[in-house]
Structure 1
């Protein structure tokens, strides 16, 4: 497991922040029917019980949006991933199917409202991560998004540079079909509430759909 530190600038901007990290050996697959049955069931439930304007009021999403403002980012222009996923479904656009590990993280994010970083642990440089705030001109290539302006966004950095924000993770550490170790980080900008449940949901799904026979769980703040 990696050591994860929260910088003073994040503590000042979001004093209640708490995080959970899950590390596990896994087997990724291109598609998993059982997982997609769960995703489709949740999609039907969400779209039949939610209005578009309800999404940003969901407590975890609302707290993440507030953290963006405090760090210096407009959450209307750079949406937290959990909000973006829900808005996509509410517009009638199906959730994109990437691979089992990515799809699984997206499901937990959709269910809980937490923005969750999913990384290929073997691509992370060093053994320490720190959560800070993005700087002007800091290089960051978002997955499928090209160069992302992360100034004012919360960002996890390894010894080489940024690897993840609540809006998008970096191409350098992204998971793919060859990933054999996952590091998933749940961001609790609303504090500890629901954090343990989200992390345990990840552990359970990894066991059910990615052949994980055990995982490590770390809480940090």
Structure 2
């Protein structure tokens, strides 16, 4: 299993920070109708029952935004990925259809309110550390281009920054060549929602991505 640590500076600023980590072998494919039936049911329910103003009150999103502010990043300018997904749904835009692995990750995110990183573990080198972005540190976000990650919580390996709760990077993105999948659920709060999100993710991975050799841990 990929070794992951939370850097001391970030842990000191956000003492309630927890990471729910899942690593497994998957079969990544473009189409997954059964999964999308579930996604469509959930997006309809969210669109009918959640308003834009209510998104910020979801406990996992509220605690994450407070974490961003404590670190020194404006969560209104650098939105959490979970918040961005929920805003798309409430605005009637739905979720992006990428592949079964990314799509089920997004489903877990909208159901739990946690921002979740999804990575091709074969493209990660060495120890992964979750820390704080530096001034002018290079980062290419998926669908965003160059992203200013100064004071943003980020994942780094031996090659540099590759993930954040705002946007993951091109280098480790999940495409149909991905077999070794790493999922990191990012929680800035201490409560039972994180184990529940991990269980949901594992169930979906088994059913819709034929996951094997599943390992999970909370740090």
Match of 1:33 in 2: 33
TM-score (norm 2): 0.98
The question of whether the paired residues in 2 share the 8 Å contact of 1:35 and 1:209 is answered with: yes
Match of 2:188 in 1: 189
Question: Using the alignment, how far apart are the partners of 1:190 and 1:31 within structure 2?
Answer: 34
Please state how far the C-alpha of 1:190 moved relative to its aligned partner.
1.3
Question: Using the alignment, how far apart are the partners of 2:116 and 2:96 within structure 1?
Answer: 16
Q: What is the CA RMSD across the aligned residues, in angstroms? A: 0.9
Please state how far the C-alpha of 1:100 moved relative to its aligned partner.
0.7
Match of 2:11 in 1: 11
Question: Using the alignment, how far apart are the partners of 1:162 and 1:6 within structure 2?
Answer: 14
* Structure 1 gaps, min length 5: none
Match of 1:150 in 2: 149
The question of whether the paired residues in 2 share the 8 Å contact of 1:24 and 1:214 is answered with: yes
The question of whether the paired residues in 2 share the 8 Å contact of 1:19 and 1:186 is answered with: yes
TM-score (norm 1): 0.97
Match of 2:120 in 1: 120
Q: How does 1:80-95 map to 2 (within 5 A)?
A: 80-95=80-95
The question of whether the paired residues in 2 share the 8 Å contact of 1:21 and 1:184 is answered with: yes
1:133 counterpart = 2:132 = yes
Please state how far the C-alpha of 1:192 moved relative to its aligned partner.
4.3
Local SS of the residue matching 1:170: coil
Please state how far the C-alpha of 1:12 moved relative to its aligned partner.
1.6
Local SS of the residue matching 2:118: strand
Q: How does 1:210-221 map to 2 (within 5 A)?
A: 210-220=209-219
Local SS of the residue matching 2:212: coil
Question: Using the alignment, how far apart are the partners of 2:157 and 2:111 within structure 1?
Answer: 28
Question: Using the alignment, how far apart are the partners of 1:192 and 1:151 within structure 2?
Answer: 29
* Structure 2 gaps, min length 5: none
Question: Using the alignment, how far apart are the partners of 2:10 and 2:31 within structure 1?
Answer: 37
Question: Using the alignment, how far apart are the partners of 1:50 and 1:170 within structure 2?
Answer: 29
Match of 1:47 in 2: 47
Q: How does 1:168-183 map to 2 (within 5 A)?
A: 168-183=167-182
The answer to which of 106-115 and 205-214 deviates more is 205-214
Report the number of matched residues.
219
